[in-house]
């Protein structure tokens, strides 16, 4: 038996179409063009690629794209001033500060300078609190992408046991909240959890966001479970090249799982488009317009 492949690329393409159409309608009906600002500090090659892809996607959708690039040794005050200026700019509806920042900069201070209404990564305490209260408009992009995949491939997850391995602010914590809001029975695991394989074997939905290549083994998976692999790990391909693998031993796991996301082409494919969805939602919310549903 081989589990269903959860095709994040195809789901992302469908969402992209809907966002493009809604963006065009918004422009025609209200003259409103969603604006996304990206802030990149330093020249980390991976961050440069991430930011470039986000800008390209925003532009392709017809958004305004504003880019701020600052040197790695930028002073904290200069960065905070730039973030505050973007927070006050009416044409900018979403602000993405690419993390991680160089060590001398205080990420929390940067998040505090960000208008929560424009926090399209949903990392500010305000947006984390709104998520907890069930009132969030802006939801963390990768967890939101995971929920869309679950909706498409599983449907109603009410009453199901979900295990989230990893408790980061970026993924694990918001993912657990969204699963809970969808009425799953949620367990969160982390590096101090005891007997992870036993916890995993109970899960109807297993979500791995650990950052360790092929850490989750096939014999941890309940037969027929849905496996969502969030991990992106670059490993040696043996021929002097590297390849991407997830946090789940995919080749073995797909024989046990009912459905499983590949890496690449699974969860990762959804993240950028969910960022665009957030920018569109932020633009509507900031202009008192009804929020589009996708």
Helix orientation angle between 268-286 and 141-153, rounded to the nearest 10 degrees: 110
Q: How far is the CB of 234 from ligand NAP (least distance, A)?
A: 9
Quote the CA–CA distance of 146 and 274 in Å, as a whole number.
10
Active site residue 286: no
Active site residue 76: no
Binding of ligand NAP by 51 (CB under 6 A): no
Q: Are 208 and 230 in contact (CB under 8 A)?
A: yes
CA 96 to chain centre: 12
Quote the CA–CA distance of 155 and 247 in Å, as a whole number.
24
Binding of ligand NAP by 96 (CB under 6 A): no
Q: How far is the CB of 158 from ligand NAP (least distance, A)?
A: 25
Considering only CA atoms, which of 272, 183, 162, 132 is closest in space to residue 228?
Answer: 162
Binding of ligand NAP by 177 (CB under 6 A): no
Binding of ligand NAP by 165 (CB under 6 A): yes
Q: How far is the CB of 193 from ligand NAP (least distance, A)?
A: 6
Kindly tell me which of 66 and 199 has the beta carbon lying closer to ligand NAP.
Answer: 199
Residue nearest to ligand NAP (CB): 168
Q: How far is the CB of 171 from ligand NAP (least distance, A)?
A: 4
Kindly tell me which of 83 and 123 has the beta carbon lying closer to ligand NAP.
Answer: 123
Choosing from 191, 219, 243, 255, the residue that interacts with ligand NAP (CB under 6 A) is 191
Choosing from 233, 244, 265, 289, the residue that interacts with ligand NAP (CB under 6 A) is 233
Of 35-43, 67-75, 82-90, 165-173, which part binds ligand NAP (CB under 6 A)? 165-173
Considering only CA atoms, which of 279, 248, 292 is closest in space to residue 6?
Answer: 248
Active site residue 98: yes
Kindly tell me which of 205 and 209 has the beta carbon lying closer to ligand NAP.
Answer: 209
Quote the CA–CA distance of 174 and 207 in Å, as a whole number.
12
Binding of ligand NAP by 61 (CB under 6 A): no
Alpha-carbon Rg for the chain, nearest whole angstrom, is: 19
Neighbours of 282 (CB within 10 A): 26
Strands 233-236 and 242-245: antiparallel
Quote the CA–CA distance of 163 and 180 in Å, as a whole number.
11
Residues that bind ligand NAP (CB under 6 A): 142, 165-168, 170-172, 189-193, 196, 209-212, 230-233, 267-268, 271
Residues catalogued as catalytic: 54, 98, 121
């Amino acid at each position: 038996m081989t589990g269903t492949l959860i095709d994040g690329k195809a789901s992302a393409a469908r969402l992209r179409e809907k966002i493009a159409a809604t963006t065009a309608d918004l422009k025609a009906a209200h003259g409103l063009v969603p604006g996304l600002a990206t802030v990149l500090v330093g020249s980390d090659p991976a961050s440069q690629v991430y930011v470039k892809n986000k800008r390209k996607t925003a532009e392709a959708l017809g958004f305004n794209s504003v880019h701020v690039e600052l040197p790695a040794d930028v002073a904290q005050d200069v960065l905070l001033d730039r973030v505050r200026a973007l927070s006050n700019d009416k044409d900018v509806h979403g602000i993405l500060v690419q993390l991680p920042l160089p060590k001398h900069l205080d990420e929390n201070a940067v998040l505090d300078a960000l208008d929560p209404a424009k926090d399209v990564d949903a990392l500010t305490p305000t947006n984390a609190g709104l998520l907890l209260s069930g009132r969030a408009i802006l939801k963390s992009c990768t967890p939101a992408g995971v929920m869309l995949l679950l909706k498409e491939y599983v449907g109603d997850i009410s009453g199901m046991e979900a295990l989230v391995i990893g408790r980061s602010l970026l993924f694990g914590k918001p993912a657990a909240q969204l699963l809970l809001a969808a009425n799953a029975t949620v367990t969160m695991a982390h590096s101090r959890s005891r007997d992870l394989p036993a916890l995993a074997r109970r899960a109807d939905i297993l979500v791995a966001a650990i950052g360790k290549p092929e850490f989750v083994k096939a014999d941890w998976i309940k037969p027929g479970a849905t496996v969502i692999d969030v991990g992106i790990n670059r490993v040696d391909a043996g021929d002097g090249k590297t390849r991407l693998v997830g946090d789940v031993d995919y080749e073995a796991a797909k024989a046990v799982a009912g459905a499983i996301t590949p890496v690449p082409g699974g969860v990762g494919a959804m993240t950028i488009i969910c960022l665009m969805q957030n920018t569109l939602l932020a633009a509507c919310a900031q202009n008192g317009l009804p929020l589009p549903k996708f």
